[in-house]
A and B are shown apart, each in its own frame.
Chain A
Amino acid sequence: MKKKLMFKNFSIYFDQYLFISITLLSVMGLFFLYSASQGDLNTVIKQSIFVGFGLFLMFILSQPDPDFYKIFSSLFIVLAVVLMFATMIFGREVNGAKRWLNFGFFTLQTSEIIKIALPIFLASYLYNKPLPISLKHTFITLALICFVFYLVYSQPDLGTGLVVFMAGIYILFLAGLSWKFIFTSFGLLVLSMPFLWNNFLEPFQRQRILTFIDPSSDPFGSSWNITQSKIAIGSGGMSGKGYQEGSQAHLNFLPEAETDFIFAVIAEEFGFIGICVLLSFFFFILLRCIYLAFNARDRFCRLTIGGLSLVFASTLFINLGMVVGIIPVVGMPMPFISKGGSSLLSFYIAFGIIISMATHKKLMQK
């Protein structure tokens, strides 16, 4: 239930279901991270500071009225785009990719901001457009989505780029994109596939996809990750090897065990049962988001809740699909579990906004 706690003059906006499940998930994440980082207490302490700050941020961001987000959404997106450009110029280069902006105490992955700013802006742009969305608005929206996608993609960060792209498309779809347009463009997309393959994918990205289709083509290159991840998950069995007993993670066979592949560590140590328990939390959060979306006060809130929760779900599924080997490796953290500041905080921010959208009711319907 949405709660509006009354304290004399002001109200506190709060959804206990989301708050409790996200807190539990975060604590479980710290617990898993301790094992995945091979008992590195520093990593866990740093992460728990982010978690604590994140939960606080989530609480703070659920207080403003949705109108605040609606009004300032243009400012947010402009700010996010500026940050993206700043990253392009001042960003820290790691492994040939410029994704981080250094603020001294904190390095920000700016694509995480735009991942949230874009859906909110699009929701505020489309909430008052008549159904179905006209071709003009559709193209304006698509242009914006493509522009933002390109900014992220050129860092290069295909994974986050895809999530940003999908976030935009969700909003457009939920806002009432005409079915005619959907089918036409889908047909065109299929036809232009070869062109996109040749011109838009970097050689290493093509290699990843090819490796994914035929893992034996590259036994020690990019499929090493997939192979080791599958071994980790598979060898966990029904009940797992036990906490901190996962040999794949602890002997470094598993790459990126603290970040992208943390799910494999959990699967190895807690087995299929552990995975089911963990996923039920995610499942619960997503179901709760549907409920909140239906009961939101207006179209803007609905679109925002729908869009942000789908960003969350997409991130989760891309991560899981990658780790169990059903989609190529793109580099995507597991929400609330994987190590990492920006991506972790971005979901607390997203859920803070979701809660704001869900808990604020207008006393009078317009």
Chain B
Amino acid sequence: MIDLNERYAEKKSFFNRLVVVYVFFGFVFSFFLYQTYSLQVSEYKDYETAAIANKTKEVLVQPVRGIIYDRSGKIIVNNVPTYDLIVKASLIKSIDAFLSDLSPIIELDSDELDYVRENFDLKARYNRELIVKKNLSKEEIAKFEVRGYKFPNAFIDVRYSRYNNYPELFSHAVGYVGGVNNDELASILNSQALPQIETIFKYSNGFQIGKTGLESTYDQILRGKYGKKIFEVDARGRFVEEREFIKPTNGENLFTTLDIEAQQVAYDQMDNRRGAVVAIEIDSGSIVSYVSTPSFSTNAISNGISSRAFNALIQDNDKPFFDRASQGRYSPASTIKPAIALFGIENNIVDWDFSMEDPGYFILPEDQRVYRGWREGGHGNVNLNKAMIVSSNTFFFSLAYKSDINKLIEHLSKFGFGKKVCADCFNPDKALLPTPEWKMNNLNFGWFKGDTVNLGVGQGYLSATPLQLAYYSTVLANKGTSKELSFIHEKQDIKNLNIQLNNTDDLDWKRLHQSMIGVIESPIGTAKRLQELKTYTVAAKSGTVELVSTDTKEDYKIIRENEGNRDHAIIIAFGPMPNPKYAVSVVIENGESGGSVAGPVAIEVLNSLIGK
């Protein structure tokens, strides 16, 4: 028997203790409710965002790239559909069984089989599509269409490859596209305010970016805007369903000023010799022909090339990848003479009546050094007109000798030497217009008078790209007014680059043109062999770039045994005179004669342009 007092005490103690426990639990409960409240109400926005980020995955969709046209509306670069066989990997139970079922319809080579087997598991796990075979042939497509019902989880999808209709003709002008690397993609996405995407999808979708030429310069316009597909994904990253598809905006087409026919003529004329041809429509400053040879196929580069073929291109001594037109540096040689003549007139050093005796050499008074002309015995009595026609070095040595070097440099730079002359060329080289400061900084020598004399005939340190020579030719043709060169007609931000000459009038320009016409038309002209190649009048100035300095013709015969020592052939020309429409420059490495080797190329290009 328990007595009542004890029972009462026990009950009271139990009551107190139970209350203690419940009060404790009450606190825990309140704390717990508070935590839930703060998660669901106070921090709701953060967690809502986190939940959405968890379940959505965005995948970029590449727009179709713009088409590139020539100036008459013919397609240069297009997108051609290629057809790939794709499977929904997660729905296929056994890839080996699938492949053996497929083999009678579509054959896979061992590389393709390896690719499929290696990637199948990963794609299946994440519910991604797997490309089984790329570039299906028409027969393969037809076979699959007939028996495709056996493969409910496989389908054919179209992908666009970049296809240049003239793959070797425009390899440097238009350039090629290639796969996007991570940095490039990041910057593209950044510019479109799109989030970073998924790498698994990147390569199979074949994202492209312009790597060289116009494909690169106008990449942003050609590219268009990426679209995106928004998928709902589960915790393992499997695609559950497509939620949203923001369509890509296709790239804009590019209408260039390039002329397919002139380009073809220039390319054929070059006949795989090393060199470049650039032709300009004078009024607009637009580039109608832009060829660097030897060339390569852009289609092969854009859409896959075997590593052996690629290495052969890389190791080719003729450097087909090298864009000679905008990156090749050549001495302008005698083609500089019209600019020097204008300098003489502008600065009252010579006029059209001035004449002097040309014994075939010029002796620098300071150190008695002999500077030779190209013709032994010289050209007799020469005035400016004759000096241009026969390309008298003596005359121009002497003119340059009388020139102030700083003024001369400033004058030459107005013609585009040492400057960027093209608004949209891919990575153009400024070449070199040497100055005394440049020489001191780079060669640790002061400027000698002899350097100025050499400049008078375009030899020495001076160098120019064929593009700059074409620009120079345009400026000469247009009597000092010109626009920055461009591949696009009516490009908005094109600059007018007029030359200010104060002491040179229209008559001087006409006489200069006349002397350049004489280079071809005169019986003593250095390019007289070009007369019969055309039916209209062309002004020109040829040049022969000495790579190895020799004193006599016999010496040159010895060194020319090695092809690499032979002179470069160079010419600038414009026509039809007297109202020139097109200007052109041609450089042929080791071609030896400007007039008779580079000349015909220039004339044939002008023929194709003017003949229309």
- A residues at B contact (CB < 8 Å): 128, 130-131, 170, 173-176, 228, 230-238, 247-248, 251-253, 267-268, 271-272, 275-276, 279, 283, 286, 290, 293-294, 299, 302-303, 306, 310, 313, 317, 320-321, 324-326, 366
Q: How far is the CB of A332 from chain B (nearest CB, A)?
A: 14
Q: Which of B27-35, B315-323, B358-366, B489-497 contacts A (4 or more CB under 8 A)?
A: B27-35
Given known contacts A234-B44, A302-B11, A317-B25, what 9 new A-B pairs fall within 8 Å (CB)? A131-B9, A175-B14, A228-B235, A234-B51, A248-B54, A251-B233, A303-B14, A306-B18, A326-B35
Contacts of A247 in B (CB 8 A): 51-52, 54-55, 232
Return the contact of B32 from the options A130, A303, A326 (Cβ within 8 A): A326
In the complex the two chains form, what is the Cα distance from A161 to B457 in whole Å?
Answer: 100
Contacts of B48 in A (CB 8 A): 234-235, 237
Q: How far is the CB of B16 from chain A (nearest CB, A)?
A: 10
Contact B54 A306 (CB under 8 A): no
Q: Does B506 contact A (CB under 8 A)?
A: no
Contacts of B10 in A (CB 8 A): 131, 176, 299
In the complex the two chains form, what is the Cα distance from A233 to B42 in whole Å?
Answer: 12
Q: Does B536 contact A (CB under 8 A)?
A: no
Q: A174-B14, A234-B39, A279-B33 are in contact. Are A251 and B55 (CB under 8 A)?
A: yes
Q: Does B1 contact A (CB under 8 A)?
A: yes
Contact B21 A170 (CB under 8 A): yes
Contact A253 B31 (CB under 8 A): no
Q: How far is the CB of A122 from chain B (nearest CB, A)?
A: 14
Contact B43 A234 (CB under 8 A): yes
Q: What are some 14 contacts across the A-B interface (CB < 8 A)? A: A173-B17, A234-B39, A234-B47, A247-B54, A252-B234, A253-B55, A267-B40, A272-B37, A283-B29, A299-B10, A299-B11, A317-B25, A324-B36, A326-B35
Contact A251 B240 (CB under 8 A): yes
Contact B41 A320 (CB under 8 A): no
10 cross-chain pairs, A with B, having the tightest CB-CB distances, nearest first: A234-B47, A235-B51, A251-B234, A252-B235, A234-B39, A272-B40, A253-B235, A235-B47, A231-B50, A247-B55
Q: Does B181 contact A (CB under 8 A)?
A: no
In the complex the two chains form, what is the Cα distance from A76 to B251 in whole Å?
Answer: 80
Contact A236 B40 (CB under 8 A): yes
Contact A237 B51 (CB under 8 A): no
Q: Does B13 contact A (CB under 8 A)?
A: yes
In the complex the two chains form, what is the Cα distance from A131 to B14 in whole Å?
Answer: 11
In the complex the two chains form, what is the Cα distance from A294 to B12 in whole Å?
Answer: 10
In the complex the two chains form, what is the Cα distance from A49 to B18 in whole Å?
Answer: 35
Q: How many B residues are at the interface, by size bracket?
A: 35 or more
Q: Does B15 contact A (CB under 8 A)?
A: yes
Return the contact of A325 from the options B11, B17, B35 (Cβ within 8 A): B35
Contacts of A310 in B (CB 8 A): 21, 25
User: Binding site of A, secondary structure by majority: helix, strand, loop or mixed?
Assistant: helix
Q: How far is the CB of B39 from chain A (nearest CB, A)?
A: 4
Return the contact of A238 from the options B22, B28, B44 (Cβ within 8 A): B44
How many CB-defined contacts (below 8 Å) exist between A and B? Answer: 128
Contact A267 B36 (CB under 8 A): yes
Contacts of A174 in B (CB 8 A): 14, 17-18, 21
Contact A230 B47 (CB under 8 A): yes
In the complex the two chains form, what is the Cα distance from A359 to B14 in whole Å?
Answer: 19
* Closest Cβ neighbor of A253 among chain B residues: B235
Q: How far is the CB of B584 from chain A (nearest CB, A)?
A: 65
B467-486 vs A: 1/0 string, CB under 8 Å?
00000000000000000000
Q: Does B532 contact A (CB under 8 A)?
A: no
Q: How far is the CB of A315 from chain B (nearest CB, A)?
A: 12
In the complex the two chains form, what is the Cα distance from A310 to B20 in whole Å?
Answer: 12
Contacts of B41 in A (CB 8 A): 237-238, 272
Q: Does B561 contact A (CB under 8 A)?
A: no
B226-244 vs A: 1/0 string, CB under 8 Å?
0000001111100010000
In the complex the two chains form, what is the Cα distance from A137 to B176 in whole Å?
Answer: 91
Q: How far is the CB of B338 from chain A (nearest CB, A)?
A: 72
In the complex the two chains form, what is the Cα distance from A180 to B432 in whole Å?
Answer: 98
Return the contact of A176 from the options B13, B21, B39 (Cβ within 8 A): B13
Contact B235 A251 (CB under 8 A): yes
Q: Does B111 contact A (CB under 8 A)?
A: no
Contact B51 A299 (CB under 8 A): no
* Closest Cβ neighbor of A127 among chain B residues: B10
In the complex the two chains form, what is the Cα distance from A128 to B41 in whole Å?
Answer: 50
In the complex the two chains form, what is the Cα distance from A325 to B7 in whole Å?
Answer: 43
Contacts of A320 in B (CB 8 A): 32
In the complex the two chains form, what is the Cα distance from A325 to B13 in whole Å?
Answer: 35
Contact B29 A235 (CB under 8 A): no
Q: How far is the CB of A246 from chain B (nearest CB, A)?
A: 9
In the complex the two chains form, what is the Cα distance from A276 to B34 in whole Å?
Answer: 11
Q: Does B109 contact A (CB under 8 A)?
A: no
Contact B28 A233 (CB under 8 A): no
In the complex the two chains form, what is the Cα distance from A130 to B10 in whole Å?
Answer: 9
Contacts of A176 in B (CB 8 A): 10, 13-14, 17
Contact A366 B33 (CB under 8 A): no
Contact A248 B51 (CB under 8 A): yes
Contact B234 A233 (CB under 8 A): no
Q: Does B46 contact A (CB under 8 A)?
A: yes
Q: A234-B44, A251-B240 are in contact. Are A131 and B13 (CB under 8 A)?
A: yes
Contacts of A234 in B (CB 8 A): 39-40, 43-44, 46-48, 50-51
Contacts of B37 in A (CB 8 A): 272
Contact A317 B1 (CB under 8 A): no
Q: How far is the CB of A240 from chain B (nearest CB, A)?
A: 9
Contact B14 A326 (CB under 8 A): no
Q: A230-B39, A231-B51, A234-B50 are in contact. Are A293 and B44 (CB under 8 A)?
A: no
Q: Point out which of B18, B25, B40, B233 has the most chain A C-beta atoms below 10 A from its C-beta.
A: B40
Q: Does B6 contact A (CB under 8 A)?
A: yes
* Closest Cβ neighbor of B21 among chain A residues: A310
Contact A253 B54 (CB under 8 A): yes
In the complex the two chains form, what is the Cα distance from A321 to B2 in whole Å?
Answer: 42
Q: How far is the CB of B72 from chain A (nearest CB, A)?
A: 56
Q: How far is the CB of B191 from chain A (nearest CB, A)?
A: 31
Q: How far is the CB of A163 from chain B (nearest CB, A)?
A: 14
* Closest Cβ neighbor of B40 among chain A residues: A272
Q: How far is the CB of B239 from chain A (nearest CB, A)?
A: 11
In the complex the two chains form, what is the Cα distance from A65 to B390 in whole Å?
Answer: 134
Contacts of A290 in B (CB 8 A): 18, 22
Q: How far is the CB of A102 from chain B (nearest CB, A)?
A: 31
Contacts of B47 in A (CB 8 A): 230-231, 233-235
Q: A131-B13, A272-B41, A306-B14 are in contact. Are A233 and B36 (CB under 8 A)?
A: yes
